[in-house]
Amino acid sequence: MLQDVNLTVNRGEFVYLVGKTGTGKSSLLKTMYGELPMTEGDCVVSGHTLKGMDWKKVPFLRRDLGVVFQDFQLLTDRNVNENLRFVLKATGWKDEKLIKEKIDDVLDKVGLKSKSFKMPYEMSGGEQQRVDIARALLNSPKLILADEPTGNLDPETSDEIMSLLFQITKDYNTAVIMATHDFMVINKFPARTVKTERGKVWDNASITME
């Protein structure tokens, strides 16, 4: 359980979230996207107040967030285009022309515009992670929460995904909070680092190989 959390992340900022297993990294992310309730204090995420948030309002919070998972969580029975279309329809998009334009735009951004009709099982892990990032960009979020996005990838592919995430912060002025255990990635792509330890969150933390 985390206590005395005091954390501000600005638009366009990249922040690493590190800490040993069980210190609250996942709990912090889950609280931020509404899976765990806030019990004390105040928190505003992308303009949404979390304390006392009714479960009916959680979908509105998530429309203003992008979430990138380690295991991709793509719909395996649908191709890339259909995966992205499903999210847009579920979040209220109705105009088919705008839906097509948005899907083309995000796939172009992640370098997969020519693979929109591929099934997830036909794609490499890096390509699936790019689809996951494209999905996170669909509703032009102010904040992306990335939970171990390079955890299942080889070093070269990890570098490609990291470069893409950093480029997104610049091009879209979108903040990214990325939970990771990969200190090689942090050393190669340095940024502000926040650490969960002993039930607290330490900002601008120094990190060591543990």
C-alpha distances (whole Å) from 51 to each of 20, 60, 67, 122 are 26, 15, 20, 42
> Of the candidates 173, 61, 157, 148, which has an alpha carbon nearest to the alpha carbon of residue 110?
157
Alpha helices in 33-95 (DSSP H): 58-63, 80-90
- Please give the residue that has the higher pLDDT: either 185 or 36: 185
Q: Are 10 and 206 in contact (CB under 8 A)?
A: no
> Average pLDDT in the 189-201 region?
89
Compute the average pLDDT of residues 188-201: 89
Contacts 24+ apart (CB under 8 A), 101-108: 102/138, 103/138, 106/134, 106/135, 106/137, 106/138, 107/80, 107/134
pLDDT at 205 over 50: yes
CATH architecture of the domain with range 14-202: 3-Layer(aba) Sandwich (3.40)
Give the C-alpha separation, 1 to 23, whole Å: 8
* 17-56: pLDDT as tens digits: 998 887 878 888 888 888 888 877 788 888 888 888 888 8
pLDDT of residue 1: 64
